[in-house]
Each structure stands twice: as structure tokens, then as C-alpha cells.
Amino acid sequence: MHARSRSAIVVGANGAIGSAIAISLAEAGCDVGLIDRVAAERTATAVAGLGRRVFDQPTDIASTAAAAATINAHVDSLGGLDILVNAAGINSFGPAADLAEIEWDRVLSVNLKAVFFCCQAAISHLRRRGGGRIISIGSVLGKNGGNARPWINPHEQVGAGNVAYGASKAGIHIMTSYLARELASSKITVNAVAPGPIATAMTSGFPDSLKALIPVGRMGEASEVAAAVRFLASDEAGFITGEVLDVNGGIWSD
């Protein structure tokens, strides 16, 4: 990936996608900091087993002060920061008519607000390094208006991501564009990966009727999202910024 060892922080390292990303970056030669609400012990063991340094500090990033503090602690431990990956996220299901304000706030707080403040906390460290990468996990649901087809089958909406989730991920996409322009002169590229349906615990209730609509005939794997992140983190992607890379099996294209 690079002549010298790089340092990466993965937020959401306990999730299937976050864990796969952390391990993939370690395989590419990165030391890795792991952030999640609880210790990411399994991921930390895998990273250490690859001979890379690892720092694992549980933090609730929904608190902006805590997000900044833990980013700083990870940078101190790793000796610098080259790559920030925002993979933390929570899902939300059901029809818009039933969506409570407290649920809206919960989803936007974790999926969008916390991601921005992690980015903000990382900027000075990346500039100090002479540049770097910010990569966030968006979603096809931030583009396509939702996978469900309630005009055909109202029950599909019960098991599919709702408007709060979609709005939070659309926010990730536009935030990526803004930060990419603002940070380009600092040699910091900012991109997002927008997965389609990925086979994880979070999508265990994904309706079979919607799985059947995926053109490649299957749900994606966390490792496939990780591969996209690893590419965007590499030197080969140095001329790519402001991009939202679809990894969705053809369920949506733009």
C-alpha cells in the first residue's frame, strides 16, 4: 500500500463490515486503531495476528466530545494518522408514518452526526501527516428511495431500512462531496462506499422478495466492501476524491 507503515482508525470495528475493513487494512500493512461501543477483541486479535500494532479503546461516538477524545487517543498510541474509516452505523426499519422522533434522532446521531465529528477530529492529524484518506460507509438506501416496494407488498417495508436510515446515509454522501473539495488542497482525499444488501447480522431480516431483485443473485459479503475501502485507501486511488463507490450487485446504478 505504501513504502512506510500507515496508521488507520476504523470506527465501528465490532460490526461485520468494520471488522472486515480493519483486517483488510492490516493485511495491507497498516497499524489499526479500533473504535466501537464495546471492545473489538476478536478484530484486535486478528490484526495483532497479522503482525500489526493495534489499539482498541471502546467509546460511544454519539458524544462529540468523546469522539474527538478517542480519535486523539488513538493517534497518540499509533504515532499518527493516515486513514480514517467511518463504518459505524445502526439500522432502522418500518414505515414513515410510524417513525418516532426519538428514533429519528437516534439514527441521525450515530449515522451522520458522529461520523462528521470523527472526520472533524481527524483533519488536523491528517494534515500533520501531509495528507491521507477519509472513507465513510454510505448506502444504496441513501440513493434509491429504499429497497422496499410498499405499493406491491406493504410488508416489505417492515424488514427494510426506513427513511431515517436513508436520510442519514444520503447525508454521508453529500458530506463526502463537501469535505473532498475542502480538504483536497491538504492532500486528503474523501470518499464513500455505498453498499447494497450485505449479509450481516444487521440484515438478517432482509426479505427474500427483495433478495430476489439483486441482479447478481446474492447478497454481498463484508469482505467485498472491505476490498473497496482498501482500494480507496491505497496510493493507486490518489486521484479519486468526492466519489461514492457503489458495491451493490447491480441493484442500483448511477
Residue whose cell numbers read 416496494:
149
241 — phi, psi (to 5°)? -155, 150
> 205: how many CB neighbours lie within 10 A of its CB?
11
**Grid cell of 235 as nine digits:** 496510493
By CB atoms closer than 10 A (0-12, 13-18, 19+), residue 83 is: buried
Residue 198 in contact with residue 222, Cβ under 8 Å?
A: yes
Closest to 122 measured CA to CA, from 174, 165, 86: 86
31 — phi, psi (to 5°)? -80, 145
Distance CA 217, CA 214 (A): 5
Provide the residue type at 99 as one letter.
L
What b/e readout covers 239-253, taking b as 16+ CB neighbours within 10 angstroms?
Answer: ebbbbbbbbbbebbe
Provide the residue type at 86 as one letter.
N
Identify whether 165 is a catalytic site residue: yes
Residue whose cell numbers read 467511518:
86
Task: Point out the catalytic residue in the list 55, 116, 165, 206.
Answer: 165
Distance CA 139, CA 128 (A): 30
Known catalytic residues are 165
